[in-house]
Amino acid sequence: MISTDILIIGAGPTGLFAVFEAGLLKLKCHIIDALPQPGGQLTELYPKKPIFDIPGFPSVFAGDLVTNLMEQIKQFQPGFTLNERAETIQKLEDGTFIVTTNKGTEHHAKAVAIAGGLGSFEPRKPLIEDIAFYEDKGVEYFVKDPELFRDKKIVIAGGGDSALDWTIFLANVAAEVTLVHRRNEFRGALDSVEKVQELKSLGKVRLITPAEVTGIHGAEKVEALDLDIEGAHQRIEADYFIPLFGLTPKLGPIANWGLEIEKNAIKVNNALDYQTNIEGIYAIGDVNTYPGKLKLILCGFHEATLMCQSVYNRINPGKKYVLKYTTVSGVDGFDGTRKEAEKQVVKAIE
């Protein structure tokens, strides 16, 4: 069983920043996320799209923001349970919690912070007959390990950033990469579109548009795909089919935890600490709701900060904590590092 002070459900920007704020209070964090990598929507849906409302950054790519957040929290050594969904929760007599994932991984925590964004993400699956049979037998909705596709024939379907980015990356891994999109136009970063165009010109990527994958063939695994190309039908060989049509957010099993829900969001006490109706369980970021709620990353950062202060007081009743600016106190990481401002030069003026 994994033990921690704060169990954070959701590895999006709010959940990641909560690790930093908890670390300043010497609280250990562990994060659960249903996606195979940290970052939430920022990583999975639009890693190369700029964000304009992060304080101090006139513009920052979503993927770069996640990279920076991961670097910021590295010194506090958080644990991660990725590609698993928080399934059940049990509150013990001592006020702590046991959270179990859909794969049976158990976590023991003194407090739980739900930072699940819009909920757990489920891939949007194309309406293809028998596609469920081929899942994990050649149909992959996420690229968890690129080496799985080494020297294989793969077909990617989609027209957004994820489809473009993985087409570019896997062009140097797979034996053959085909990108299928139902339109001629792509909704992704311009540099990614241009890179795919360049790979197509070099013969490293096959581009088929406008077209759709309509069928899958193979006795035990994917062996071929049917395409509809403007009314014409074509069958192509394939070892893997990767449909990347985005993700559908769902509150999922958390909706059955006894929390007060309003319009698919968790009601919290925003006057104090973003705690839910169950003491010791908090909800921060887009997953919560309260009067005047704004679904902004910077609001999630604020909520994470107050949540951590509340957890500290809950774990250490009666213990006085004096908040200090990091510019004055520096930052002591769990890994033994210390970051602090350079000392001022003391020099007399002659």
Which of the four pLDDT bands, split at 50, 70 and 90, describes residue 145? confident
Amino acid at 174: A
What per-residue confidence (pLDDT) applies to 32?
97
pTM for this model (two decimals): 0.72
Cβ proximity of 6 and 308 under 8 Å? yes
Cβ proximity of 308 and 22 under 8 Å? yes
The pLDDT mean for the chain works out to: 91
What per-residue confidence (pLDDT) applies to 236?
96
pLDDT digits (tens, 9 = 90+) for 4-46: 999 999 999 999 999 999 999 999 999 999 888 999 888 877 7
Q: What percent of the chain has pLDDT over 70?
A: 97
Coil, helix or strand at residue 312: helix
Q: In this predicted structure, which of 45-59, 163-177, 223-237 has the lowest mean pLDDT?
A: 45-59
What per-residue confidence (pLDDT) applies to 42?
87
Q: Is the pLDDT of residue 344 over 70?
A: no
Q: How far apart are CA 329 and CA 194, in angstroms?
A: 47
Please give the average per-residue pLDDT across 85-94, as a whole number: 96
What per-residue confidence (pLDDT) applies to 302?
97
Q: Is the pLDDT of residue 157 over 80?
A: yes
pLDDT digits (tens, 9 = 90+) for 276-303: 999 999 999 999 999 999 999 999 999 9
Half-sphere exposure (Cβ direction) of 151: Cα atoms closer than 13 Å: 0
What per-residue confidence (pLDDT) applies to 142?
83
Comparing 172 with 251, the larger pLDDT belongs to: 172
Task: Tell me the DSSP string of 93-150.
Answer: TTS-EEEEETT--EEEEEEEEE--TTSEEEEPPP--TTHHHHBTTTB-SS-S-GGGGT
Q: How far apart are CA 90 and CA 96, in angstroms?
A: 8
